Structure 1
Amino acid sequence: MNPRALAEILAGAAADAVAVPQLSIEHHLSLADAYAVQRLVVDARRRPRTGVKLGLTSRAKALQMGVSDVILGELTEDMAIEDGGSLDPARFIHPRVEPEVAFLLRDGEVKGVAPALEIIDSRYQDFRFNLVDVVADNTSAAAYVLGPWQRADQDIGNRGVVMEIDGRVVETGSTAAILGHPQRATEAAARLARTIALPMPGEMVLLAGAATAAVTLKPGVVVEARISTLGRVGFTYIF
């Protein structure tokens, strides 16, 4: 197993927006191997790191994958999309979108919280993967949109979440779907970062995990998410 060679496969798939077979079909990877590949995949983007994201924060999704812990991916500057901005479909293979809670952390302390949308885009054929595959692929991280930052001391434990596409409600849920309480994401991210020896930026964004199921994106739509007390966030997926 050559981590650099495997990272080149995934980095090339992301750059060219062309899907590749799962790495685990031909290569035996441990979880530690997968995180080593992930680090090299992120390095290949050659962009400043802006934060981290958690995956498998939903108990149902974790059970589906047969795991009992969350996974960690990295965010980079080129993944950030302005609220109300647009995304070009040419950047993606088979993207999906999900509403999340985002935290602004400074030296590990929460300084703000915001509604967010994450665009996930597995680089594997048919959006199929196992645990080590998705970790190596940087947990399918592709892009994210942040709404306005709100004060950090408010209760966000069980807030209603609505996601709309072209004004039609496509998913509803609660922030409680994120580890039972999204605030737990800050502890989980710090713990995982220590486990895999991942340096954390002094100021960073943390995407806490999905509050609903992900929805497939089709060109020409407007996506908006609303979280009770936190407000709204949105973008246009252009033709």
Structure 2
Amino acid sequence: MTMDAMISTTEIDDIAARLDAAQTGVADIPSLADNQVIPIDAAYAIQSALIARREARGERVTGVKLGFTSKAKMAQMGVSDVIVGRLTDAMRISDGGEVALTRFIHPKVEPEVAYRLSRDVDLDDPTVDIESCVDAVAPALEIIDSRYRDFRFTYTDVVADNTSAAGFVVGPWRPLRDVGNRAVRLRVGGNEVVGSTAAILGDPVRALHALLDMCRRHRISLGAGQIVLAGAATAAVPLVSGVAECEVAELGTVSVTGVRE
């Protein structure tokens, strides 16, 4: 199958069902690329079908997240675009709260910057200023949990899998401010990773503009009150039992505790 080959609606639904079963059953599956090449538009269609299954179970989409926002990750995956996934209310964990590690296959955690949308974004208005649609910023943690075996996947695989989205924690909101090149520290158990918000496309605010472009291309709505996770400020670290804490200089801290049930 070539990248231009069409994938039927039935195939899209079947792949979404497999990915959904992997997530709900906490059991990994082989990379989709082992059997076929998924074009990017089909990958986003699979993601939408996957989210529709979650919504049918009562979940509500509450935001979006970006991936591949570091130049190193783009180079590794051989792409020049960010990727976008959806967040739901079932993925959110309260700041300082606990999360059962048994709900994930092989979880990792990343330090992030979160933005809050203050109004709906009209994707069809070419003059819309995405920055004016944001009213607050906060430190955040994202838990990623690829449903693919050994974290082995292609660019379109991960898009289909809702960009490995599994959980997120948002710290205290602050009035919108410049968060470019802020020091970031992630502590997980005995591990500590340091970095900078500059790892997020050079400045997290650029992620908002990249997000708008991708949402226009793939018709992903952006609404008032939604949360935007701008991307990882350091490499991901395995999430283990104990406290995971992210500190962003002059912005604040956010934490979550992994527990074994």
- TM-score tier after normalising by the smaller chain length: over 0.9
Aligned to 2:4: none
Aligned to 2:130: none
The answer as to 2:231 corresponding to 1:209 is yes
In structure 2, distance between residues paired with 1:99 and 1:40: 28
What are the within-5 Å matches in structure 2 for residues 160-175 of structure 1? 160-166=183-189, 168=190, 170-175=192-197
Contact 2:142–2:167 (CA<8 Å) still a contact in 1?
A: yes
SS of corresponding position for 2:156? helix
The answer as to 2:243 corresponding to 1:231 is no
Aligned to 1:86: 98
What are the within-5 Å matches in structure 2 for residues 149-228 of structure 1? 149-152=173-176, 154-166=177-189, 168=190, 170-218=192-240, 220-228=241-249
- TM-superposed CA distance for 1:169, in Å, is 5.0
TM normalised by structure 1 equals 0.96
- Structure of higher CA gyration radius: 2
The answer as to 2:88 corresponding to 1:76 is yes
Greater than 3 Å deviation, 4+ residue runs: none
Contact 1:38–1:138 (CA<8 Å) still a contact in 2?
A: yes
Counterpart of 2:211, as a letter, is A
Aligned to 1:3: 12
Aligned to 1:42: 51
Contact 1:162–1:169 (CA<8 Å) still a contact in 2?
A: no
In structure 2, distance between residues paired with 1:200 and 1:15: 26
Q: Which of 122, 145, 155 is 1:131 aligned to?
A: 155
- TM-superposed CA distance for 1:201, in Å, is 2.3
Aligned to 1:52: 64
Aligned to 1:104: 116
Give the number of aligned pairs. 236
Contact 1:62–1:69 (CA<8 Å) still a contact in 2?
A: yes
Note the residue ranges of structure 2 that are not aligned, 5 or more in a row: 1-6, 122-132
Counterpart of 1:68, as a letter, is S
Counterpart of 2:80, as a letter, is S
Deviations along 1:178-229, one digit per CA (max 9) or x if unpaired, are 00000011111111111001122232100000000000122x2111010001
- TM-superposed CA distance for 1:28, in Å, is 2.4
Note the residue ranges of structure 1 that are not aligned, 5 or more in a row: none
TM normalised by structure 2 equals 0.88
Q: Percent identity?
A: 48
In structure 2, distance between residues paired with 1:37 and 1:122: 15
- CA separation of 1:169/1:127 partners in 2, compared to 1, >3 Å: closer, same or farther? closer
